[in-house]
Amino acid sequence: MNIDSRTMTLHGGDVPYLTYNRLCDIGFIRHAFSTRLGGVSQGEFTSMNLSFGRGDPEENVTENYKRLCAAAGFDYESLTASAQVHETVVRTVTSENAGVGIYKPKDILSVDALITNDPEVTLVTYYADCTPVFFVDTCKKAVGLAHAGWRGTVGEISRNVVLRMQEQFGTSPEDLVCAIGPVIGRCCYQVSLDCANEFRKLFGPDSKVVTPDKQEGKFLVDLALANKLILLRCGVREENIVISDLCTRCNSDLLWSHRATAGKRGTMAAFLTINNK
């Protein structure tokens, strides 16, 4: 495992988690990305599983959240989770939504991105190869998280988040700082021709997002680059976009990877909040 220390930091201890150095430099937010380590789950979920929907006992998942929150400095009571179905719906949340998807039932069926300017709520989205995208408006002090699988990426969920933040908070794309990953890398993300063609429709036939694989009829897709290009099209400055060098499949000892485990796995989460302390 090689983490580019210029980009991300792995915080050790009993409950390891990752942060982006660039986001840590923004004083009014707190963020984290969990690993597969430091929890109490057992079996195929060992040990830090943050999904309530995969068969892990709820008490284990709840304890995992509380451990992660204690380690990374989040208020457990403020957590608000997405309801991901690989679509492009963006939801604005406030403190009134605290607990939804964590210790309160989900109240909406399709949400793959969350935005807020309320410091009393912590955004939570889920991953195990798909692309996490963090959004921070450094001027209006608003934040967002998006879950971008291949369908969400070609559906331009990152663009939807930028547009919604413009509408809701008056965000200017030039003021956004965005972080992408960890995600399954181009080295490991093999897809069919049909899937590859969806990316080619969006980025053009010669885009570096799609490259032929050695296996005939298969292609490699760069999800991180795809989301970066979408952000650039929205007006986000290139110098304000940071990409993790961590491939989830290559680093499946640290991170949950759906492909590395053939689906027998737990789930990681991204956390983002406005720090009101």
* pLDDT tens-place string over residues 70-88: 999 999 999 999 999 999 9
Average of per-residue pLDDT values in the chain: 97
Cα–Cα distance measured from residue 203 to residue 233, given in angstroms and rounded to the nearest whole number: 11
Residue 133 DSSP label? E
Distance of CA 77 to CAs 58, 104, 123, 227, Å?
16, 10, 12, 31
What is the structure's pLDDT at 277?
A: 57
User: What is the b/e burial string over 209-236, where b = at least 16 CB atoms within 10 angstroms of the residue's CB?
Assistant: bbeeeeeeeebbbbbbbbbbbbbeebeb
Model pLDDT, residue 31 = 98
Q: Which residues fall within 8 angstroms of residue 251, CB to CB, at 6 or more apart? A: 1, 182, 257
Per-residue pLDDT at 1: 64
Q: Dihedral of CA 120/13/240/188: which sign? A: negative
Cβ-contact 133, 179 below 8 angstroms:
yes
Share of the chain above pLDDT 70, in %: 99
Contact 49, 56 (CB under 8 A): yes
Helix, strand, or coil (residue 178): strand
> What CATH number labels 11-184+238-274?
3.60.140.10
Express each pLDDT in 238-252 by its tens digit.
Answer: 999 999 999 999 999
Higher pLDDT, 17 or 6: 17
pLDDT band at 6 (very low <50, low <70, confident <90, very high): confident
pLDDT at 5 > cutoff 90: no
> Dihedral angle at the C-alpha atoms of 161, 170, 33, 101, nearest 10 degrees?
-70
Please write the tens of the pLDDT for every residue from 90-114: 999 999 999 999 999 999 999 999 9
Q: What residue spans define the domains of the chain?
A: 11-184+238-274
